[in-house]
Structure 1
Amino acid sequence: MKNATLVSTYLVFALAATVVNLGSQMLSIACYTGLYAVPVSMIIGTAAGLLLKYILDKRYIFKVETKNLAHDGILFALYTGMGLITTAIFWSVEYAFHLIFSDDKMRYLGGALGLAIGYVLKYQLDKRYVFQQAAAK
């Protein structure tokens, strides 16, 4: 895949995962407004976005075909592991916006900003450590 096409495809996938993440958070907040509503919504959104992004990245960005369910599980575990670093960035920015502004719209803006920063780093981590054989092609 040519560089410009790769970048634009990755951007579209990152935006799709961001919409799924933040949409899942909004749905979660609509269903549960208790004491831990914000952290619960962030966890639900992260899980939904992670799963979508893994499927899209594996197939269309890195063009990896897994050998079997075990191989797919190992790749997903590595992908998730790299995501822990970027999730810390995303959650920190989103939660900081939540604490500073006390407004859901600003929290979601912080979430989108944190995800954007995280996805830039995540591509580099995935390329080097998760899908390195595919990236070397």
Structure 2
Amino acid sequence: MSSTAASMSLSRSRLVFWYATFAAISIGANLGSQSLAFHLYRGPFAIPLSVCVGTGVGLVVKYLLDKAWIFRYEHQSVAHGVRTFSLYVVMGLGTTILFWSVEFIANALFHGEAGRLAGGAVGLVIGYFTKYQLDKRFTFA
């Protein structure tokens, strides 16, 4: 089943609800793992390292939820799965730059973890809205 057909099997309101729910779960996983990484390591580059850890965790969580529940996408082989995940990552590069920019701007403005994480949440919401459109058209098409 194509992703468009799978997405259309959900009503628009249910699709928005579940996509937003999974985005919230992914944001929680991202920001929670960022906070954990930041508290475990406070050395040089602690903030960029924690952001990278959170991005990786959030990426995997969001991919698994989107693939299974939003797009109802099945891999035809391991190679196809690797290709799909790689395309998912590539589609996320621009949205990740957007998310990181908002988070680092918030960190510069508010000088603290709470402000940085709030900026990260705003950046992730904007990024996930954009990412859905890219994934629907390219990744899970």
Q: Normalising to structure 2: TM-score of the pair?
A: 0.92
Measured in 2, the distance between the counterparts of 1:71 and 1:56 equals 18
Q: CA deviation at 1:101?
A: 1.1
Q: CA deviation at 1:35?
A: 1.5
Task: Identify the residue that residue 130 of structure 1 maps to in structure 2.
Answer: 139
Task: Identify the residue that residue 30 of structure 2 maps to in structure 1.
Answer: 21
Instruction: Return the match for 1:9 from 18, 24, 28.
Output: 18
Task: Identify the residue that residue 94 of structure 1 maps to in structure 2.
Answer: 103
Q: CA deviation at 1:110?
A: 0.1
Task: Identify the residue that residue 119 of structure 2 maps to in structure 1.
Answer: 110
Task: Identify the residue that residue 57 of structure 1 maps to in structure 2.
Answer: 66
- Give SS of 1:66's match: coil
1:47 aligns with 2:52: no
Measured in 1, the distance between the counterparts of 2:112 and 2:40 equals 18
- Greater relative contact order structure (CA < 8 Å, 6+ sep): 2
Measured in 1, the distance between the counterparts of 2:78 and 2:42 equals 37
In the TM superposition, what whole-angstrom CA distance separates every residue of 1:98-131 from its partner, at most 9, and x where no partner exists? 1111111000000000000000000000001111
Q: CA deviation at 1:69?
A: 1.2
The RMSD of aligned alpha carbons is 0.5
Task: Identify the residue that residue 36 of structure 1 maps to in structure 2.
Answer: 45
Measured in 2, the distance between the counterparts of 1:37 and 1:95 equals 13
Q: CA deviation at 1:67?
A: 1.2
Report the count of equivalent residues. 132
- Alignment gaps of 5+ in structure 2: 1-9
Measured in 1, the distance between the counterparts of 2:101 and 2:65 equals 25
Measured in 1, the distance between the counterparts of 2:94 and 2:135 equals 12
Measured in 2, the distance between the counterparts of 1:101 and 1:59 equals 38
Q: CA deviation at 1:68?
A: 1.5
- Alignment gaps of 5+ in structure 1: 133-137
